[in-house]
Amino acid sequence: MGDFNQMVVLDQVRRAPGGSSRVELAGATGLSLQAISNIVGRLIALGLVVEGERRAEGRGKPRTMLHLNPRGAYALGVHVDPVVVTSVLVDLSGDAVAKTVVDTPTGPEAVVAAVAAATRGLLERAGVDREAVLGLGVAAPGPVDFASGAVVHPPLLAGWERVPIRSMVAEATGFDVVLEKDVSAAMVAELWRGERMLRGTSVFFYTGFGVAAAVAVDGELVRGSSRNAGEIGHLIVDADGPPCACGSRGCIGASAAAQTLVDEAVARGVLAPGTPAASPRELDAALTAVAEAASDGDAVAGEILTVSARRVARGITTVADLLDAQVVVFGGPAWSRLAPHYLPVVRAELAAHATLRELHAVEVLGSALGDHVGALGAASLVLDGLFTPRPSDLVVRRAAPAGRG
């Protein structure tokens, strides 16, 4: 309980834009002033909180304001993507202190070596001691076998069948490593940095070489029985849509896939025949060309993206209704290119067709954290695991009774 209360107080301090006094913390948490004083003393001693200005509010002596010390602790985050491997060093507020992006090497061993080199370089460049780093988070495409710390069969990463990435990175870097799906990591980044998804039900829709969703209820990630919740790629959104590898047509994953959009752009003359798209990097560049053509006024390119957006919007509307979601946030490596074409369509679809629209609107937003939200989320996993107070952490689960017989 003491550790939980300490997390509650730290969370209150870090989420107060102008700082918070001891009196305000007591009022917000329900803890006594003596308990607050003791906890604040420990947080100051740990270097996580600092005292700031004295502020007079009404009658009585001025109160000393408390602020988060962003440089009190750090975390490393890595996002393994088919095109690039992004490594970041973040401070306690979740802000990136340093970032490195390299082309994704071929093979797991080469990727792990690149991660080890990148993390060493980040610490040297930022002048941060290893002892100040709380851990390293890895975000990877799902699904993930969390028991073994292995990625199972990530799309467009050849030779990555059941790779024990967690232990490999831990051995190569010497840090404690936490592994998570990239979409779930992205959701954790949003929860750590912002306020908009801490109440009610929220959905993060990830757009990259695959699509997936993450769900949070009252600021806590919903993980599922194997911690792989959110694999919505085969939700059918258009029975006459593009063919999917699963054998169906119009799956949401195929409808938003870079390969689908690029193939259609070539077939309809937006891109030249023979446009390179065999490797993940080539495919990514071709997708950029389609999005740029649409932004430059190419009507056919615009139609291709609009049709894709309508299909995605149908799927998001179904998910939002199923979960009674209040907020849907889009993000991921492809999002900045798709946003101008997707956001208006998704917002209009939810406003017109969401079953619960008469009870509450569904806010549709783009991630404020940029294309590297996966890496920021990976680092945020470390901070979130250590410092986010959750009532569920206080529940003592009783052992199940032995079976009869």
More confident residue, 149 or 18: 149
pLDDT at residue 59, as a whole number = 67
Query: Residue 364 — pLDDT band, cuts 50, 70, 90?
Result: very high
Across all residues in the chain, what is the average pLDDT? 92
pTM attached to this predicted model:
0.91
366 and 327 Cβ atoms separated by less than 8 Å: no
Work out the average pLDDT over 235-250.
Answer: 95
Nearest Cα neighbor of 48 from 78, 95, 10, 9 is 10
Is the pLDDT at 304 greater than 50? The verdict is yes
pLDDT, position 172: 98
pLDDT at 2: 55
Q: What is d(CA 384, CA 377) in angstroms, rounded to the nearest whole number?
A: 10
What is the share, in percent, of the chain residues with pLDDT greater than 70? 95
Which pLDDT band holds residue 159 (cuts at 50, 70, 90)?
A: confident
Confidence at 79, pLDDT banded by 50, 70, 90: very high
Q: Which residues contact 62 (CB under 8 A, 6 or more apart)?
A: 54, 55, 56
* pLDDT reported for residue 399: 43
Per-residue confidence (pLDDT) for residue 196, from 0 to 100: 80
User: What is the pLDDT, as a whole number, of residue 42?
Assistant: 96
- Percent of the chain, pLDDT > 90? 84
What kind of fold does domain 74-188+374-387 have according to CATH?
Answer: Nucleotidyltransferase; domain 5 (3.30.420)
**What is the dotted CATH code of the domain comprising 2-68?**
1.10.10.10
Looking at residues 272-282, what average pLDDT do you find?
95
Pick the CATH number of 197-367 from 3.40.50.150, 3.30.420.40, 3.40.50.300, 3.30.365.10: 3.30.420.40
**pLDDT of res. 62:** 86
Residue 298 has pLDDT above 90, yes or no: yes
Between strands 327-331 and 363-366, the pairing is parallel
Structure confidence at residue 195 as a pLDDT band (50, 70, 90): confident
Instruction: Give the model's pLDDT for residue 395.
Output: 58
Question: Which of the 8 DSSP states describes residue 268?
Answer: T
> Once rounded to an integer, what is the mean pLDDT over residues 255-282?
96
Do 197-367 and 74-188+374-387 have the same topology in CATH? Answer: yes
What are the extents of the domains in the chain? 2-68, 74-188+374-387, 197-367
